[in-house]
Amino acid sequence: MANINRYLLRLLAIFSLIFSAACQDRLFDNPFDPQAREIVFEVVNTIYTPAVNPRGLTWDGTALWNVDGSNNTLYGLNATNGALVRTLRSPLFNTTDLAYDGLDLWVCGESDVNVYKINIFNGDIQKRLNLQRGSFTAMEYAQGFLWLADAQSNKILKVDPETAEVLASFPNPGIRAGGLASDGGRFWVSDPRTLTIYEIDTGGRVLRKYLSAGQSPQGLAFDGRFLWNADANQKLYQLRFQR
């Protein structure tokens, strides 16, 4: 009987370790490209965000801005240590993402067809664009245009920031876009449903796809050198890609 008890205790300890590991973050320091089967990026740094429900992300040249979907707050954060630089309120209910145009911030939301341009220092509304229809989950400003991920059509829309005219569109490569970023010549789209980050060209053609660093990839931002990914686990991952 003593031997049986020791055996059962040993099994219990093993199951406890397995369960504990399963509950931790699924973090791949060097994830594999599902198609190429090679190391494609490494997590350079991880900072924490005060956002309870981290959504969109953008880079303004000096700080990272993260949307808190739980209270429509925009947090400006130091990219080195996550220190809070500035806090703004979004004019939108259910804010999902934001973008920086070189001067001001743009914000979008899932339940509003309006996209707002706000002052980066005090949050005052500078401009309102009415797109007539759409449910916007991600946004980027690149090449002089706004790019919006529309959940209704599951497309990425190219929008004139002056007139709100939709100039072009292409299919979102995933199920639902959680974040959108660009380096000027290509885009990255995150998909929390499939734990995937897609790298695509300006026509929507998938160049590569990567497993996300966290369990629910949301906002994306490119700082000129690194790609940043906000995850629902309240972490912002700084990613360096292997070429």
What does each C-alpha distance from 100 to 56, 105, 106, 177 come to in angstroms? 12, 5, 6, 18
pLDDT one-digit tens code per residue, 138-167: 999 999 999 999 999 999 999 999 999 999
pLDDT band at 39 (very low <50, low <70, confident <90, very high): low
Sign of CA pseudo-dihedral 205, 211, 216, 218? negative
Q: Give burial (CB, 10 Å; 0-12/13-18/19+) of 27.
A: middle
pLDDT one-digit tens code per residue, 66-93: 999 999 999 999 999 999 999 999 999 9
Model pTM score: 0.85
What does each C-alpha distance from 146 to 9, 29, 33, 238 come to in angstroms? 59, 32, 29, 24
Query: At residue 6, what is the residue type?
Result: R
Q: Where are the domains of the chain?
A: 28-241
Rounded Cα distance between 212 and 31, Å, is 8
Would you tell me which CATH number, out of the four given (2.130.10.10, 3.30.70.860, 3.40.1360.10, 3.40.50.720), belongs to the domain 28-241?
2.130.10.10
The alpha carbons of the chain give a radius of gyration, in whole angstroms, of 20
